[in-house]
Amino acid sequence: MADNKKMVEAITSRDVDFAQWYTDIVKKAELVDYSNVKGCMVIRPYGYAIWENMQADMDRRFKETGHENVYMPMFIPESLLQKEKDHVEGFAPECAWVTVGGSEKLAERLCVRPTSETLFCEHYSHIINTYRDLPKLYNQWCSVVRWEKTTRPFLRTSEFLWQEGHTMHETAEEAMEETLKMLKVYTDFYKETLAIPAVVGKKTEKEKFAGAEITYTIEPMMHNGVALQGGTSHYFGDGFSKNFDITFTGRDNKLHYPHQTSWGTSTRMIGALIMVHSDDDGLVLPPKIAPIQVVIVPVASHKEGVLEKAGELYNELKDKFRVKLDDSDQSPGWKFAQYEMKGVPLRLEIGPKDIEKNQCVLVRRDTREKLFVSLDNLDQTIEKLLVEIHDDMYNRALKNTEEKTHTATTYDEFLDIAKNKPGFIKAMWCGDTECENKIKEDTVGVKSRCIPFEEEHLSDTCVCCGKKAKHMVYWGKQY
């Protein structure tokens, strides 16, 4: 037992050191390994399986909304990147450059894509000629590179996997509709698949994407009250179109510039998953993306009939759920701990006593609740439980978010909350970037998260400067 204790203590407690706890989970659940390239990580099979499940779910949603997958080059010539001024200024500081090919110095250096707006625009300028060519609804699954100063597995790495949608539309209205539609796709995905609630809304001028007219964002709150930008959807208007000379002949037989959007989510969502749901015993995965949904652990597997029964159950369940039968010769206790570490939503124990009673033991990862259930209609019992687990996980995360969301109407109140209570602060804002800067300085890092779609009227004046308020803003620290 002393040894068990030690193994369990190998995960730093979440309440003691959140950052260390996160790193422990990521390593011990075998999601990643550090690589020997600065800021890059090896995504191990278990971590990659989570990403694959996320991909499959999102890809389905993209296709249901009419999008097609494409693949762009990973290199962007410098001249192409420079066509949009704000865009290049935003990304230049974190570009990786290729200057040599083989032994030849390149005439023009190539940027390893940090994002692909410019490549899509270049391509769109070739293929868009008439309004009949619109809309173009493309998505790309790939990796991008941003030379970050500080990196953490999943949350910020030099190279990361993501999807980036890039669309072109005949009218501004249509593009705006697309921007909001994809934000909704993200919000639904977070809720229905990741069991993560989030605040959604518009970024301020200061926080919006380089080159965008409007940036919408989904901002889930982590267990410790810190926000994570979980996905963005940008409306570009016709800014890029003009710079890249993308034109089409309209219904009026005149030349027009198409209106553009882009939207993206990344492997960072795995980081969100960890920081929202997991606990001191390891990962807790929502059933929809868990690589293993049910793990079958035979108990006293040397006793006659146990392994056979476990095998029968596996065969019965394997077509309906992602099931693993662990018949290795590790002790049951070891397996219990191991699959808790890996966040498997349901553990199914089957031993001699169960077989006698035509039952098995189901243990929920999220609550540790132990249920003795009949082997009759087991698939239905499990299906119901998985749904329940998902809903309970969502509701717990929602409760945490609500409990850690505060309201401030005076600046003293705001500073007090920022200093003493982790979480979001709802407060009125005048619309000036100066106030955002001041707040960030006065609070050590509190920034505007977003202007939510559903604003509340908390007071008439800006919490910072006292001028007339324009918006209610969610404020908070972020990863």
Partner RNA sequence: CGAGGUGUAGCGCAGUUUGGUAGCGCGCUUCGUUCGGGACGAAGAAGUCGCAGGUUCGAAUCCUGUCACCUCGACCA
Site for RNA in 249-278 (CB under 7 A): 264, 266-268
Residue 100 or 444 having the CB closest to RNA = 444
Q: Contact between 450 and RNA (CB under 7 A)?
A: no
22-35: b or e for each residue (b if 16 or more CB lie within 10 Å)? bbbbbbbbebbeee
Nearer to RNA, 212 or 472 (CB): 212
CB of 301 to RNA, least distance (A): 5
Residue 19 C-beta: closest distance to RNA, Å: 3
Residue 218 CB burial class (10 angstroms; 0-12, 13-18, ≥19)? buried
Is there a contact between 18 and 24 (Cβ–Cβ < 8 Å)?
A: no
- Residues 319-338, interacting with RNA (CB under 7 A): 329-334, 336-338
**Nearest-angstrom CA–CA distance, 158 and 154:** 10
Residue 134 main-chain phi, psi, to 5 deg: -110, 155
3-class secondary structure, 343: coil
DSSP state of 93: G
Q: Tell me how far, at minimum, the Cβ of 113 lies from RNA, in Å.
A: 12
Nearer to RNA, 254 or 302 (CB): 302
Tell the smallest beta-carbon distance from residue 320 to RNA (Å): 21
Site residues (CB under 7 A) for RNA, limited to 217-236: 229, 232
Binding pattern to RNA, positions 388-407, x when CB under 7 A? --------------------
What 8-state DSSP symbol labels residue 119?
Answer: H
Q: Give CA angle at 263 (261, 269), nearest 5°.
A: 175
Q: How far is the CB of 237 from RNA (least distance, A)?
A: 18
β-strands 259-266, 231-237 pairing? antiparallel
Omega cis (within 30) before 93: no
Nearer to RNA, 37 or 98 (CB): 37
Instruction: Report the distance separating Cα 92 and Cα 431, nearest Å.
Output: 28
Q: Is 430 helix (H, G, I), strand (E, B) or coil?
A: coil
Residue from 157, 187, 204, 241 touching RNA (CB under 7 A): that is: 157
Size of the site for RNA (CB under 7 A): 73
Tokens of 173: 């209205």
Which is nearest to 223 in space by CA: 267, 264, 284? 284
Question: Least distance from C-beta 208 to RNA, angstroms?
Answer: 8
Q: What is the DSSP letter of 152?
A: B
What are the beta bridge partners of residue 112? Answer: 75, 96
Q: Which of 156, 320, 421, 438 binds RNA (CB under 7 A)?
A: 156
Q: Looking at beta carbons only, is 136 or 342 nearer to RNA?
A: 342
Site for RNA in 95-154 (CB under 7 A): 146, 148-153
Of 130 and 331, CB closest to RNA:
331
Closest to 165 in 3D by CA, of 260, 49, 60, 267? 260
Q: How many CA atoms lie within 13 A of 441 on its CB side?
A: 7
CA–CA separation, 449 and 215 (whole Å): 11
Provide the minimum distance between the beta carbon of 357 and RNA in the complex, in angstroms, as a whole number.
Answer: 8
Of 66 and 305, which has the nearer Cβ to RNA?
305
Token pair, residue 342, equals: 């890996």
Site for RNA in 284-313 (CB under 7 A): 299-302
Binding-site string for RNA from residue 59 to residue 88, where x marks contact by CB under 7 A and - marks none: ------------------------------
Cβ nearer to RNA, comparing 92 with 458: 92
128/262 with CB nearer RNA: 262
Query: Minimum Å distance from CB 16 to RNA?
Result: 12
Residue 385 Cβ vs RNA, minimum distance, rounded to whole Å: 15
Q: Which is nearer to RNA, 58 or 134 (CB)?
A: 58
Token pair, residue 80, equals 């192409």
Between CA 378 and CA 22 the distance in angstroms is: 35
Contact status: 438 vs RNA (CB under 7 A): no
Judged by CB under 7 A, which of 25, 29, 31, 39 binds RNA? 39
The single residue among 21, 189, 209, 257 that binds RNA, judged by CB under 7 A, is 209
Least CB distance to RNA at residue 238 (A) = 21
User: Is residue 358 within the footprint of RNA (CB under 7 A)?
Assistant: no
Pairwise CA distance, residues 347 & 292, whole Å: 10
Q: How far is the CB of 358 from RNA (least distance, A)?
A: 12
The tokens describing 278, both together, are 């997991």
